[in-house]
Structure 1
Amino acid sequence: MKPYWQNYIDGAWVDGGAGRVDIINPGNGEKLAEHALADEADVDRAVQAAKRVHLSGVMSDLRPIERGRLVQAMGRYLLDNIDEISRTLTLEQGKPLWEAEREVHGAALYFEYYGNQASTVEGRSIPLGAGLFDFTENAPYGVSAQIIPWNYPLEMTARSLSAALTTGNTAVIKTPEMTPITNAWFAHAAEAVGLPKGAVNILCGWGHQAGAALSSHADVNQIVFTGSVRTGIAIATAAAGNVVPCVLELGGKSAAIVHDDADLEAFENDIRWGIYFNAGQVCSAMSRVIVHESRHDEMVERAVNIAKSLSVGPGIERAEAGANMGAMVSEAQRDRAAAMVAEAESQGATVATGGRKMNIPGAFLEPTVLANVTPDMTIAQDEVFGPVLSVMKFRNEAEAIKIANGTQYGLVGGVFTRDLDRATRAARQIQAGQVFVNQWFAGGVETPFGGFGKSGYGREKGREALWNYVQTKNIAIRLG
């Protein structure tokens, strides 16, 4: 691990006008490296570089299939360097090494998937009668500003960058200040496959400085953001000043409705992956389980067993997939989650297991299960973004749906039952952009992902995401 990492602007590695920031290894609490911090002038240089490349037509004028090959090659570059990237990701973010390796594979898959889609982004002809020929084109917006979260810094960049490049845009990426290092490999990949200088720019900076400058920049044409509701509103407000479209993914308080006929033994696997993967730092985490009152105690017992089965410690020591969990991203994030657990207990919830900071160096929280949670509690309404599962009761189907829909969010929901009619009703009634039936996290890069309500708007993943990066142009030609 080198001690200092620079920003990447217009094809060059550069220092930041705002100085440097310490990157902390959450697995032991020690300083890992320093990273350059961009200021407003750095942001402007990056945007101007991306604008220059866009206006030159070097990206948009490429035959789409050729552009797609470049995008796919970037994914292959990531896989060629998976060992170094995954180790670095674990050290800066805290997740187990095997989870980091999966993230690299997931990032590469976005480039493969969208690169394959490049030649399918087609217009259509519109009949207007004799003497006229009318057709549409899908034109790239231009400069895509992408503000990346810290929980999946590699995969989240990949899903927006790959789609932007596939459709002929250029990009300015603001990395998360806690986990910026692995984004450097996107710059290396862009160089390796021959993208022009300035097509991809990557900088680390504070949200209130670099992020604000980027989201309000007059030469940014489209914005992609994943993060909190509060920050998303600020970005959308800034973008509105320039009439710039956004894709916003703003988190969730996702609920699984578990009916009395559900297979709870099989559901244990959904608990393991749904709330304890990446230490619960997942926007679509299964943070609430709404279970029929007749199965509540059994559900809590099974959840406690899953939580207690996890080996928790430094991610770099956990190379093999299995019953283990790494650190949270920072001690501040860990402390926030622990405080929310304590507040829930003060409001009447029962800490069935966990809930405490672990007495080892690093940002570790015990895998937690809360029982007897009610909809009016803060823990049932606010996103924890940690390894904390809230178990709630329902008496009938209508009450279950009401509880599931009873937050400001609408990102993901789920229903577990052997009754297909009941599952279908729930899938239609749950107010969320994605609903899982009998398997949490079913789907993949091919399936559209995005929120209802304050979970945001626009879609990432799937073919639908491509339409966020193009605008329709109609061309009418008089013949003869």
Structure 2
Amino acid sequence: MNMVIRDGLARNFLAGRWVEGEAGARIAVEDPATGEIVAEMARAGERQLAAALEAARGSVERGDLSAMRPGARADLMRRIASCIRAIADEGAPILCRESGKRLSDARGEFEEAAAYFDYYGGLADKIEGKQIPLGSDYIDYTVFEPVGISAQIVPWNFPVSLAARSLAPALAAGNAVIVKSPELDPLALALLGRAFQEAGLPEGAVSILNGIGSELGARLVASSEIDQIVFTGSVPTGQAILCAAAENVTPSLMELGGKSAAVAFEDADLDRLVESVQGGIFFNAGQVCSAMSRLLVHRSLYDRAVEAVAALAGGLEAGHGLDEAAHTPVISAGQLDGIEAMVRAAPGQGARIAAGGARLDRAGHFMAPTILADVDPLSDIAQQELFGPVLCVTPFETEAEAVTIANGTEFGLVAGIFTRDLARAHRVVGRLRAGQVFVNEWFAGGIATPFGGIGKSGFGREKGVEALYNYVRTKNVAISLKG
């Protein structure tokens, strides 16, 4: 711990070294549940970014990972997984305090991060090309090569697990990575640097830097030295990054916003639906890109569903994540202000507040678990990503209407269907505009299931075998055997 956080200051992990900010620059990290300062984070600047880029390029050119035998690289990945598990007890309380989430969920992030390295460790020696038949006079085959330097900008809602989600396949494929950590909660993510050290990751293969996104992040994605950009975050920031990427024609992987809808038909199991609502919109205070932010319910079930989810919301007790409270704060005062403003405007566009509707009168950044009923599908709150513990409920009459409403936003990340009729479920799955569809359980799936969106939810896929091929380039080799 003293290598990472010392005297209340966390340092950046730069190519195997722990460094402070340029000219002593720091960023204060707040506990969202109390408003108190947890620690300070060293603020990386232009010189440290240049050093990280130089170290990453050296690692790529030496082949620190790409020249390693695939089986050895797989062993390294599994050692990293073990080292992440070893720091979970230490890291979970830090992540809990800086992000506001429950302690058990914070520990779960470290466990999930380790699982990503185990999963992609199992694939590191299975990145195989193919032979293409061109006739007896030719031998033609493909090989996969690492992209080079992967610049990865990590969001604040799940900093440890989402960093691992892209770090693990990138390293498994033999790349070097520079991670820009979120300034709101960078402390626990910095601990991953220690896991890399203890596992024996070659120096230069990974740097984890923290700084202001509009400064450090913008410089990183604009650099001609990087070979790939991986971004998870808001649509406006993603659009700005893509503009920067266009200057150097840098390949990019974008996982952006969502306004995902669950469709509950008349035969839906109401108890299972309510259970999915609890996890779908109130887990992590709704700060999940794939949250169930809209619920479309058949008219025959509508009143009972609204009553049930309102009772659920009203029964969630707020408190600190260290106390395993059922309802935790949002990340910042600014986030809370934006959520509350949108909820307050919703009744003016026809919505009815069935539960919650305002911030809680207590220290910290707590928004009451909120249910908005009778929401117009075209209203602002049904169209714009809120990123908070607010569920918009809308009735529908027919299957066609439900599909139209579900598809009626600019986003297309995930969707859900609740029905006992599997024929209907399969039919509707094919009509929903989403990268992933859950049936009868929100957040079904796991590390092995590809994840990503369409439309303004972004492009490319994280997770699963499919994600590994984001981090390699295909090279074709055609050999003539004539004369």
Same fold (TM over 0.5): yes
- Give matches, 1:323-362, under 5 Å: 324-362=326-364
Distance between the aligned counterparts of 1:218 and 1:437, measured in 2? 43
Q: Distance in 2 between matches of 1:285 and 1:417?
A: 19
Amino acid of the structure 2 residue aligned with 1:227: G
Q: Deviations over 1:337-393 (max 9, x none)?
A: 111110112222111111221111111111111111011211100111010011001
In the alignment, which residue of structure 1 is the partner of 2:87? 81
Amino acid at match of 1:210: L
- Out of 184, 188, 195, the position equivalent to 1:182 is 188
2:22 counterpart SS class: coil
Give 1:364's aligned residue: 366
Q: TM-score, normalised by structure 1?
A: 0.97
1:15 corresponds to which of 5, 12, 20: 20
Distance in 2, matches of 1:203 and 1:405, equals: 38
1:241 aligns with 2:247: yes
Which range moved further: 77-86 or 377-386?
77-86
- Within the candidate set 433, 451, 454, 1:452 is matched to 454
Q: Deviations over 1:144-171 (max 9, x none)?
A: 0000000000010000000100000010
Partner of 1:384: 386
Q: Does 1:4 align with 2:6?
A: no
Among 158, 162, 172, the residue aligned to 2:168: 162
* Distance apart, 1:126 and its partner CA: 1.7
Q: Distance in 2 between matches of 1:206 and 1:432?
A: 32
TM-superposed CA distance for 1:297, in Å, is 1.1
Q: What amino acid is the match of 1:254? A: S
Task: Report how far residue 127 of structure 1 moved.
Answer: 2.2
Matched, 1:399 2:395: no
Residue type of the partner of 1:276?
A: F
Q: Distance in 1 between matches of 2:48 and 2:265?
A: 54
Q: For 2:128, which of 122, 129, 139 is the aligned residue? A: 122
Q: 2: distance between equivalents of 1:405 and 1:188?
A: 44
User: Paired residue for 1:299, among 297, 300, 305?
Assistant: 305
- Corresponding residue number in structure 2 for 1:153: 159
Cα deviation, 1:449-471, whole Å, max 9, x if unaligned, reads 00011100000001100110000
1:103-128 deviation line (CA, Å, top 9, x unaligned): 11111111111110111110111223
Q: Unaligned stretches of 5+ in structure 2? A: none
Aligned counterpart for 1:136 among listed residues 142, 151, 155: 142
Residue matched to 1:40: 46
CA RMSD of superposed structures (Å):
1.2
User: What amino acid does structure 1 have at the position aligned with 2:186?
Assistant: P
2:464 corresponds to which of 452, 462, 465: 462
* Residue identity in the other structure for 2:411: Y
1:478, distance to aligned residue in structure 2 (A)? 4.0
Distance in 2 between the 1:261 and 1:24 partners?
Answer: 45
Q: Which amino acid aligns with 1:426?
A: V
Structure 2 residue identity aligned to 1:353: A
Q: Secondary structure at the match of 2:145?
A: strand
C-alpha distance in 2, partners of 1:242/1:428? Answer: 37
Partners of 1:113 and 1:348 in 2: CA distance: 47
> Is residue 215 from structure 1 mapped to residue 221 from structure 2 by the alignment?
yes
- In the TM superposition, residue 129 of structure 1 has moved relative to its aligned partner by 2.8
Deviation, 1:476, is 2.5
Which amino acid is the alignment partner of residue 85 of structure 1?
Answer: G
The 3-state SS of whatever aligns with 2:191 is helix
**Aligned partners of 1:74 and 1:186 also within 8 Å:** no
One of 421, 434, 437 as aligned partner of 1:435: 437
Name the CA distance, whole Å, in 2 between partners of 1:215 and 1:462: 25
SS of aligned partner of 1:364: coil
Distance 1:168 1:390 in 2: 44
Counterpart residue number, 2:118? 112
Partners in 1 of 2:74 and 2:257 — Cα distance? 30
Q: 2-side partners of 1:229 and 1:289: how far apart?
A: 22
Kindly provide the amino acid, as one letter, of the partner of residue 57 in structure 1.
G
Looking at structure 2, the residues matched to 75 and 276 of structure 1 have their Cα atoms a distance apart, in angstroms, of 29
Q: Could you tell me how far apart the structure 1 residues matched to 2:168 and 2:327 are?
A: 29
Q: Kindly, what percent of the aligned residue pairs are identical?
A: 49
1:172 aligns with 2:178: yes
Q: Distance in 1 between matches of 2:183 and 2:407?
A: 33
Give the Cα–Cα distance (whole angstroms) in 2 for the partners of residues 130 and 259 of structure 1: 58
Query: What is the deviation of 1:47?
Result: 1.4
SS, match of residue 22 in structure 1: strand
**What's the counterpart of residue 414 of structure 1?**
416
Matched, 1:225 2:227: no
Q: 76-85 or 223-232, which moves further after superposition?
A: 76-85
**Distance of 2:291 and 2:79 partners within structure 1:** 31
